[in-house]
Amino acid sequence: MDLDSAGAARRLMARLDAFAAFTDEPGKLTRLYLSPSYRAACDQFAKWAQAAGMRVRVDAVGNVRARYEGKTADAPALMIGSHIDTVRDAGRFDGNLGALAALAVVEQLAENGVRLDHAIEVVAIGDEEGVRFSAAMTGSRALAGQLSATAMQAKDGEGVTLDQALTAFGCDPARACACGAKGVAAFVELHIEQGPVLEAKGLALGVVSAINGATRMQMTVNGVAGHAGCVPMQLRRDAVAAAAEMILAIEARAKAEADLVATVGRLEVEPGAINVIPGLARFSLDVRSPGDERRRRAVGDIDAAAAAIAARRNVEMAMQPIHEAAAYVCDARIVAGFDRALTDMGLPAFHLPSGAGHDTMVMGALAPAGMLFVRCAGGISHNPAESITSEDGALALAALTRFAVDFRG
């Protein structure tokens, strides 16, 4: 079946622009999980899905789920989607492209009166980024039936728990751990690459072979605040100086091993005054690797190095886990399905691993899962400069549509 995706692709690109208006911070795109702009984005997404004749609901963790029936009621579903929460000052394609492209697949079917042997469930997922709460991938964990009750107590920067935020959003957190999806034959996600490989190869699309595992920690260093003019250097217990040494040790540990990356992306200092020796430093740690064992070993080494620095500097250090996701090798049948879609379109079936985390790595616990990447300019992502061309967007939508139509559960 050949659906002409050109019009749908133009609509998709226009919608990505319009969707970027749902933001918590005027002038930039910041759409945190369960925020007012996340609500507005969910409402808009649901309206578009309803207009395409889908049955729509918001589940107990704020995922928007929309079902397009197959030829028979209750047929197993191909679930397609991605996240609609963003990082702070984000680009407009990370996550949003995959969620809106999933909708565009169904719109093409509906506009052509096509029903498939399988249903399609489109999902706009919340909290992939893990920016608001001390948790991540809450939406996909819930879909995959992997959400733990302790996650409900994760707090945001204002001390609001996930449980409280879900209640305020109109969800029932008591049902969050039991809202796993049923009847899902497979999950697929279209996403921008967020790296430079496809661009360097001169390719618009690539099939994801595997997704790196990740560990996230909150590190806290407690020293003693004091007068910047009066405490001699040898007698200080400076939390920031200790944290700085720890951060350099983290960088050195990551550099010492191929394919391992470690990032300190957030650093807070208290009391935070020009004339006060810092008494407290808090920083985030994000460690990723294709090998789970190698990642765990690196986290252990970082813990030991930070503890040694803390002991030498007479400060206290604590490392608290926030998020852990095992590496995921994409399902061979899904990879083969995307290979076929690309080959049928006359494109090379190029495979590449993902350094970024994705909902797919969690959804793999529910059903066979896989991803298609589209080239992004300069490999830039988590940055407002993130961009893809309309031509690549059209190819990506055509490949995803072809995959969905040819899918055999």
Residue 386 near ligand GLV by CB under 6 A = no
- Choosing from 91, 95, 279, 364, the residue that interacts with Mn ion (CB under 5 A) is 95
How far from the centroid of its chain's Cα atoms is residue 25's Cα?
20
Task: Please list, residue by residue across 59-90, b when 16 or more beta carbons sit within 10 angstroms of its beta carbon and e when fewer do.
Answer: bbbbbbbbbbbbeeeebbbbbbbbbbbbbeeb
Residue 357 near Mn ion by CB under 5 A = no
- Choosing from 357, 364, 370, 393, the residue that interacts with ligand GLV (CB under 6 A) is 357
Q: Is 85 helix (H, G, I), strand (E, B) or coil?
A: coil
Residue 126 near Mn ion by CB under 5 A = no
Residue 331 near ligand GLV by CB under 6 A = no
Stretch that binds Mn ion, among 87-95, 104-112, 321-329, 397-405 (CB under 5 A): 87-95
Closer of 5 and 30 to ligand GLV (Cβ): 30
9 and 397 Cβ atoms separated by less than 8 Å: yes
Which single residue is written with the structure tokens 């963003």? 86
Closer of 355 and 409 to ligand GLV (Cβ): 355
Binds 337, which of Mn ion, ligand GLV, none (CB < 5 to 8 A, cut-off by type)? none
Closer of 383 and 389 to Mn ion (Cβ): 383
Window 193-232: contact mask with Mn ion (x via CB under 5 A): ----------------------------------------
Binds 213, which of Mn ion, ligand GLV, none (CB < 5 to 8 A, cut-off by type)? none
Q: Which residues, in sequence order, are bridge partners of residue 284?
A: 218
**Alpha carbon separation from 406 to 8, 27, 107, 246 (Å, rounded):** 19, 41, 16, 51
As a whole number of angstroms, the distance between CA 153 and CA 389 comes to 41
Closer of 241 and 363 to ligand GLV (Cβ): 363
- Choosing from 59, 94, 193, 392, the residue that interacts with Mn ion (CB under 5 A) is 94
CB of 94 to Mn ion, least distance (A): 4
Residue 205: which of 193, 187, 189 has the closest Cα? 193
Residue 361 near ligand GLV by CB under 6 A = no
**Considering Cα of 110, then 112, then 116, then 120, what sign does the dihedral take?**
negative
Residue 156 near ligand GLV by CB under 6 A = no
CB of 194 to Mn ion, least distance (A): 7
**Alpha carbon separation from 251 to 87, 269, 382 (Å, rounded):** 23, 20, 20
Closer of 357 and 368 to ligand GLV (Cβ): 357
- Choosing from 356, 374, 395, 397, the residue that interacts with ligand GLV (CB under 6 A) is 356
Closer of 94 and 107 to Mn ion (Cβ): 94
DSSP sequence for 88-147: TTB-SSTTHHHHHHHHHHHHHHHHTT---SSEEEEEEES-SS--SSS---HHHHHHTT--
CB of 211 to ligand GLV, least distance (A): 9
Closer of 85 and 163 to ligand GLV (Cβ): 85
Q: Which of residues 115-134 bind ligand GLV (CB under 6 A)?
A: 129
CB of 393 to ligand GLV, least distance (A): 19
290 and 212 Cβ atoms separated by less than 8 Å: yes
Phi-psi region of 219 (alpha: psi -120 to 50; beta: other; left: phi over 0): beta
Residue 359 near Mn ion by CB under 5 A = no
Binds 152, which of ligand GLV, Mn ion, none (CB < 5 to 8 A, cut-off by type)? none
Q: How many CB atoms lie within 10 A of CB 18?
A: 11
Closer of 129 and 331 to ligand GLV (Cβ): 129
Which two three-digit tokens encode residue 10? 């133009």
Closer of 86 and 108 to ligand GLV (Cβ): 86
- Specify burial of residue 408 (Cβ count, 10 A radius: 0-12, 13-18, 19+): exposed
CB of 83 to ligand GLV, least distance (A): 8
CB of 327 to ligand GLV, least distance (A): 12
As a whole number of angstroms, the distance between CA 29 and CA 277 comes to 35
As a whole number of angstroms, the distance between CA 269 and CA 225 comes to 11
Instruction: Write out the residues near Mn ion by the rule CB under 5 A.
Output: 94-95
Instruction: Write out the residues near ligand GLV by the rule CB under 6 A.
Output: 129, 356-357
